[in-house]
Each structure stands twice: as structure tokens, then as C-alpha cells.
Structure 1
Amino acid sequence: MERPPANVRPAWWLKPVNGLLAPFEGRFGGEGSFDAALRAASSRSGLPWPPDEPFLSGMKVLHDAWQAAPDLTPLGRFSLQTEIRRRLERRLRMLHLLDARPEIAAQTVDRPVFITGLPRTGTTFAHGLLARHVRGRAPMLWELLNPVPDTGRPGERKVSRRERLAAARTQVRGTHAAGPGFGAIHPMHPLEPEECIFLLPHGLNSHILAHVPDYRAWLERRDATPDYVYLKQQLQALQWGRPARRWVLKSPWHLSNVDVLLSVFPDAVVVLTDRDPARAMASWASMTEAGRRLHCHGADPRQIGREWVDIWAGAAESARRVRAGQGPGRFLDLPYDELTSDPLGAAERVWQSLGEEFDPESRARTLAYTRRDRRESPGGHKYGLGRYGLTAEEVRAAFGPDPTGSAAALAHDGA
């Protein structure tokens, strides 16, 4: 099989370590491992589990799908089991916080800004750019990994800010050590804004790490409203006791759930990025292959290409339908070409469209961000559609001439 590009090759040491761990692989998963994760979440937090259906049932669906993936490495199995435990611990702490402080759930999440669009269309850069406004606030990676403040409940194991920062640093260093080229694909830093997908318990991002088609089918027929209610609760926890600012949030994964997002956040504004889907899908397939190879014995590039074009074309079509039924002002367009050629002007246009003054301090902070070098690897990210069995013509045909619905929306708004 063709050797993968440097960006998607795992570190040399993963193979011998997986070989050493193979005899003990059964300890990382299998029968009883979900109950073990429940116990671990309770033990680490010092908090007991209250009744929590259907959240736990849904989390078990993901757990079982990951554990059933036939090509997981021992390290991959351990990593995914650890991720299940993290999500359970976060949920347990959140339940106790809301019980101890019910006033948190009454807070207003005022006019949040959600940046979404096809992946690899500039959403990360747009997020960092718009987050520099003095009225905006984007969650940092360290906050997303541990968003729930201490509840003060008896027996609770408190987690200091220093511990939360250290945990985020450890996770980032581990990712970069296992996948040396990953920083060129998606730079991550504990003190930088990151995707709010970390606050959603479910999503097709879980399908990157291992091929779980049954989980994908389960997601596609499921109502995502409880996930977005939970997202709102965690944002309320993060803003509790702090000065009020507008949340600036980002994830391509919102694209398939824009209707749910707007029902849970009725005064939200959605900023849609746009780029040639052929370029976006080539970059996305490369990122997916990198994630898959960190957790699995191998990855089929052509299967990745075919499947994800189908997934993202469906998400884009869903967003187009939702947008067509909304009034002016609910969606703003941020094309990739404008974002990269005139980022300061793009930020000013978006914030003024959001009804906020682009004051001198916001301008200076935004300009400073545009001048930073965010690359983690001087070699850059290398990718191409051919490796994934796709052509530019096929991809563009799958998405149509207007993936985000911008042309139709502009015509509607001007009517």
C-alpha cells in the first residue's frame, strides 16, 4: 500500500508499544468496561451517580461501538476508554453542580455566535480572529476539557485551575508525540480557543478515531436536542460569576444540526465559512486518516474519501434547508478568500453585522492575531484528493455550486 504522507504517519514508537501492550488489551475494554468507566468517574470526582437516563444509555452506545471496532490498537482501545471515562466524569460533575446551584441553569446565554461550515474552510482561523473582540469570549482548550467548576459537595475531589491547565498540556503533548505531523494539520494549545465539540457528548467526530458505521447510523436517526441543552448548561457553568460577554463558538460539526442549535439558542447568529469543497475534502480526508492511524492498525484512504464526502454533503444540504427557512440576520457568510486575504476587514464586517462596534482595542487585538505564526510544523500540511480516490469534479458535483446556501440566502434577504 502507498506510504502515507508525513503528516498522517504515527510516531515510530507506537508500533512497539502496541506490541508490548497486546497481551493486556482485554483490560482496556470488553465486558464490564462501561461499568468500570462509571465507577472510575465516580471515584475520580468523589461524587455518586444519580439516575441519568437516557444520557448513560447513549454513552454506552458510543462505548460499545468504539470497543467493537475490529482494527483498534491496544493504545487506541485504552485512549478511547479513557475518553469515555472523561465524558462520564464531566457529566457527573455537571449534574451535581446544577443540583447544588440551580441558579446556573437560569442564566442567559446572550446572542452567541456559532462559526460553522465544511471542515477545513477556515473555521479555526475565523474562531481565533473573532474571539479577539473585547465583547467576545471563546472557550479555551483547557476550559473545554474541564468546564465544570467545583460544586462544594461533601467528598468531591476539587480540581484547581493549575490541574486543569496541566491536564490540557499533557493531552496536547501526547497528541503531538504520537502524531508528529498533527500540529501542522490542526494546531492546538491549552490557552487558545478550541471547538465546542468537546462539550457535546455525541457527534460524528467519534467516527474519525475508529470506523463505527453503526454509531453513525444511530446518530443520524437521533434527535440531538439533549446534546445542545447539555452544551448550553456547560456554557452557563463556564460563564457563572464572570462578566457577561458574547460567546464565540466554533465547530464544523454544527453544520448537520443547525436546526437544533437554533432551537436551543434562539438568538444565536450562525457564521458560515465557505471554500472550494474539493480543497476542503482533501484536507479533511488527510486529517481523518491521521486521527484513524493514531488509534487503529491501519486506514483505508479510499474508504475515508468516499464516506466523508457523503457525510459532509448531507450536512451541507441539511444546513441549506434550515437556512432557507430563516429570516435575515440569522446567518452571516465568511468566505475563505475574504478571510485569508483581508482578515482584519472580515472581522470588522462580521462584528458590525452582529451589531457590535469594532473599537480600537478590538482592532488592535485582532490585528495582532493576524500577524502571529500559528504553524506547528514548518513543512506545512500536504494532501491531495487522488490518495482518497476522489477527483475535484466528483467532489464539487456532490456539494453543488453553493454548499452553504449563501447565494440563495442573499437573494432571499434582498427580496
Structure 2
Amino acid sequence: MNPDDLQAQATEQTGLDDFGDPSYREGLERYCAALVEEAQLNDLGNVALPPSLVAALVNRLKVVDHAKQHPEVTAERIEAPVVVIGMFRAGTTFFSHLLDMDPANRALLGWESQDSVPPPLPGERKTGARVDAAQGGVDMLEMLNPAISAIHHEAAADPTECIAVMGQAFQSISWEAIANVPSYGAWWRGGDNRGAYDYHRLVLQTLQSAGVRGRWTLKSPHHALALDALVDTYPDARLVLLHRDPVALTGSVCSLINVMSSTFSDADHRSYIADHWSDTLEESIDRIEDFRSRRPEHPILDVRYADLARDPVTTVRGVYDSLGLEAGDGAFDAMAGFLAAHPRGEFGGHRYDVAEFGLTEAAVRDRFSEYVERYDVESERLTSPAG
């Protein structure tokens, strides 16, 4: 977990040594220290996580070098992206899949977030050797921990979270999802995240520079915690916020984090997970409300998960109308086709219970009662498709 060794490995693999903006380095150092001191990694964690860090550094090296070799990339405009800022586990994955059915849209795909150079040509985004290689990694992770597919299945050619890219700047909630690292989490949340968003923009510029353009549709719960950096980077971004029963949100995210981190640690982290991720939900709500009060020139469109679950296509149509988006040819029919081809619970039902993490439904409801009342959030049963 030595940052110098990890960088040396990335340099050896690529022949490159310019990592760009040095702000990434502190995050790398803090994360490595937290993995050693806090994460209680098992043998698999100690074997698997260093190559993941090297892979992030490798892609960063390639992106930075590509921009140096092709300076016109930095002139690429990322125009008025649609950015789903959360809530986490509120159906953002489902929503992003529907948006990806519109030919006018351009999602960030899983494989290209990890292997961004050379940027894909038209026709190369959904199939090819790089897609297959990335899918091999997905298959391996789901083989090691089959429960992940029921909670959050994401194929290599599916839309992915922005955190996959921001992890290469080492200012990202993504690294907290696979290991319990409180000191690292406190550090990145206390910073301004500018370096991560600058790098995020460079990756998007790179990916569209070979001709695969469209209206970017992006999503990540990270954005709710860094809205100032997001809109300063993308001033014309259209922001969408999904609202869901906080008991379901808390139970679902605790279940997800427990399953993911248990791949790499045999310790019982449930108490920490319950505290940290319920605190994260509250912090997200607070930061969103603070942003709304300070920066009303950047409105946020509120969408209820219950509406999305009941009538997905109609709800998406409403989002298009509210944001003034023009749909591509056959977009809504394609969304309906996606729903028919991918029924709810396709990869198994995800059941979760806040009691497993030492929480009570009554206490969670009381903690988030103002949020529920403010956005008229419906309560729900604690079983749902992954989201």
C-alpha cells in the first residue's frame, strides 16, 4: 500500500510518468494509510486492492498524456449535462438505464470510465475487446461475491457512476464503498473536490473527442456532497434529485456497503456502516438544502422514487418536459422495450433490514421526518430491485 510503489507500477505499465494535477496525491496517500490502519483487510483485500489503485493511476496517466498529445481535447465543450445527484440507493441506476435508451443521450459507461484512452469511435462503445476485458473484471467480482449482482449489477457496457472516474483523482466516495476507511472519508468530504471535478471534465472531454457525442447523462450520490464543485465545473448542468423512503435508503446502502466491503475484510463493520452511511444520508440532505438556499440560480428538479417505480416512462417524460429536453427518435418506445426486457428483480430480489445494523425503523423515520415531510416521500416495503 505504498503510494510510491503503486505509482512506479503504473509508470512501468504505461511508460508514462505525468499524473497531471498533483492534488490526487494526498488522496492516494490518505487512502493507502487508511487501508492499512482502519480497513482490517483480509488476504484477498491485501491482494486485490493494490492492483485496483494501480489501475486507477494507469488510466489517469493515459488520460493526462492523451490531452498533452491532443491539446484540442481540452477545448471540447460538455454542454448542459443532465446530472442525477442522488439520493444514493434511490433508483438512480434504474433511472440512468432509461436515459441511456435515448439515442440523443450519452452516458458514461463502466468500461470507458476505466479504460478511457484511446477514446471510443462511433460503434465501439457497446462491444469490442476493451468491453470484453472490463466485463471479465465484473464477472470475477460477482463470482467472488455473488450477492453483489442482486444489489447492484452493472455490466461493463452499462451506465456507471461518476465516482468511477473521480476515484482516479482519489477524491471519491467510491473508495469508501469497498473498504471502511473513516479518516479518508472525513478528508475528502472536508475538501473542495475541485481537482476531482477538473479531472472528471477532462475524462468526459477525452471520451467524446473521437466523435461519440450526445447529451451527457451522469449520476452519482457523490455529487450531493460536492454541489459547488459540480456546478462550478459544469455551470449549465441540469440537476435531478431522486427522493425515496429514508428507511429504504438507509437499509439498502448499509446492505450494499456491507456486502461490498465484506469481500475484502472479514471483520464485522456493521456498527460503523450503520453510523457512517446514515450520517452520509443526513449530510447529503443538509448539503443539498444549503446549496439550494445559497445558489437558487441552479435549480434542482425533484423526482420521487415511488413515481418512477410505478410508471417509469411517464416519470421520465415528465423530467424531459421539466428540463426542456428534446428526446431522440424512438426514445420512449426504447425505454418501454428496456422495461419489458429487464423485469424488476432480474438479478434477484434485494432484501434489507435496518435492524441488521442495530438501527430501528422508528428511529430512522424520526431522524428524517423533516425530509420526508418536505418532499412528500412515500414509505415503502423494504424489498426492491437494485437501485
Q: TM-score, normalised by structure 1?
A: 0.83
* 1:103 and 2:72 are equivalent in the alignment: yes
Contact kept, 8 Å, 1:209 with 1:295, in 2: the verdict is yes
Superposed displacement of residue 220, structure 1: 2.5
Contact kept, 8 Å, 2:39 with 2:181, in 1: the verdict is no
Cα RMSD (Å) of the superposition?
Answer: 2.3
| Partner residue, 1:144 | 113
SS state at 1:401 partner: helix
SS state at 2:211 partner: coil
- Closer, same or farther in 2 for the Cα pair 1:374/1:298, shift >3 Å? farther
Output the CA distance in 2 between the equivalents of 1:270 and 1:105.
24
Between Structure 1 and Structure 2, how many residues are aligned?
A: 367
Superposed displacement of residue 37, structure 1: 1.4
Q: Which moved more, 1:162-171 or 1:119-128?
A: 162-171
Determine what percentage of the aligned residue pairs are the same residue: 28
User: 199, 213, 234: which one pairs with 1:244?
Assistant: 213
| Partner residue, 1:6 | none
Q: Which moved more, 1:233-242 or 1:77-86?
A: 77-86
Q: Which amino acid aligns with 2:191?
A: R
Output the CA distance in 1 between the equivalents of 2:244 and 2:326.
27
Output the CA distance in 1 between the equivalents of 2:5 and 2:373.
43
Superposed displacement of residue 100, structure 1: 1.0
| Partner residue, 1:24 | none
Contact kept, 8 Å, 1:339 with 1:346, in 2: the verdict is yes
- Closer, same or farther in 2 for the Cα pair 1:38/1:301, shift >3 Å? same
Output the CA distance in 2 between the equivalents of 1:141 and 1:374.
21
| Partner residue, 1:157 | none
Q: How does 1:70-109 map to 2 (within 5 A)?
A: 71-109=40-78
SS state at 1:272 partner: strand
User: 152, 165, 187: which one pairs with 2:153?
Assistant: 187
* 1:223 and 2:189 are equivalent in the alignment: no
Q: Which amino acid aligns with 1:270?
A: L
Contact kept, 8 Å, 1:302 with 1:387, in 2: the verdict is no
| Partner residue, 1:393 | 362
Contact kept, 8 Å, 1:181 with 1:377, in 2: the verdict is no
User: 181, 198, 201: which one pairs with 1:212?
Assistant: 181
SS state at 1:247 partner: strand
SS state at 1:402 partner: helix
Contact kept, 8 Å, 1:292 with 1:298, in 2: the verdict is no
Superposed displacement of residue 375, structure 1: 6.3
* 1:197 and 2:163 are equivalent in the alignment: yes
What stretches of structure 2 of length at least 5 have no aligned partner? 121-126, 377-387
User: 287, 290, 308: which one pairs with 1:318?
Assistant: 287
Output the CA distance in 2 between the equivalents of 1:291 and 1:299.
13
What stretches of structure 1 of length at least 5 have no aligned partner? 1-28, 152-160, 408-415
SS state at 2:102 partner: coil
Q: How does 1:278-297 map to 2 (within 5 A)?
A: 278-297=247-266
Q: How does 1:160-179 map to 2 (within 5 A)?
A: 162-179=128-145
Output the CA distance in 1 between the equivalents of 2:8 and 2:221.
33
Q: Which amino acid aligns with 2:188?
A: L
Q: How does 1:2-151 map to 2 (within 5 A)?
A: 29=1, 33-49=2-18, 52-69=21-38, 71-149=40-118
Structure showing greater radius of gyration is 1
Q: TM-score, normalised by structure 2?
A: 0.88
